Amino acid sequence: MNTLPTALEKYSKKIGATQRPFVRIHLEQADNLLPWNSKVGGAPYLPKGIPFPVNAEGVQLFFMAQVNFAEMPPLEGFPLKGILQFFIFDDGLYGLDFDEPEAQHNFRVLYYADPVTDSDALITDFTFLRSYGDDMPLKAGSEWAMRFQPDTGLMPESDFRFDGIFGEDFFARFGTDEWSIAEAYGKISDAAGHRVGGYAEFTQEDPRQPEDLMELLFQLDTDSKHGILWGDMGVANFFIRPEDLAQLNFSRVLYNWDCY
């Protein structure tokens, strides 16, 4: 655990108990990526005979990312194999529905439990895809390989569980040092960046509800170096209930993104 501010040392045990493993994702130049490799952008893994994902109106969705768990370090609660894919839409909200954030009308999360690694059995020509709008988090045609790094992180103040553990207005107890201590804690509990599992980053607020436990499945952050931008320096998160993850049921994933 990173060094705590002196004022927080007496809470170190409680803070340390929130530490969780996750897998950090670094994006790198995509050189000779195979269809089943983990990636952001580019073309998805798609077996022949399987239709390309469409929205509720039958319009082709936009492929955003896929994680091949066999390429990722093991993470408790997550599959050891299979490909998990994320598709969004090129409307003004990138497929997000504020009223029904789990309704996969304009986004889709798909899982292939036993992917084949035979290019002859896969669709590799995607010229049938439509043109997408220019104002998307990443440009059509851009492609980045994923490199995985095991890591751990502390619960950020923005997490919906934070007040229940530490009390409401936790940092107010430090009086005139409130903001400096909160800022210091924010740095050591930073949840920014691309990741699988662990804690999520928000620019606004956590959309989850305390009575309905959901954990971070996948996060794709703004990344100017790689041309990824969610609105005004925002971040996208996908959340799942632990029991659904255990059953490899990705039909009830909560999709959220926000920005400044």
Strands across the sheet with 83-88, in order?
Answer: 108-112, 83-88, 62-68, 39-41, 143-153, 20-29, 194-196, 215-221, 235-240, 254-258
Domain that includes residue 91, residue range? 6-258
Residue 14 pLDDT grade (very low, low, confident, very high; cuts 50, 70, 90):
very high
In a domain, 154, yes or no: yes
Note the pTM of the prediction, 2 decimals: 0.96
Read off the CATH number of the domain in which 242 is found: 2.30.320.10
Q: What pLDDT sits at residue 140? A: 86
- Whether residue 202 is contained in a domain is answered as yes
Instruction: Flag whether 1 is in a domain.
Output: no
Q: Token pair 């997550």 is at which residue?
A: 78
Q: What is the DSSP letter of 176?
A: G
Number of folded domains that form the chain: 1
Across all residues in the chain, what is the average pLDDT?
96
- φ/ψ of 206, rounded to 5, equals -70, 125
**Residue 259 predicted with pLDDT over 70:** yes
Q: What percent of the chain has pLDDT over 70?
A: 99
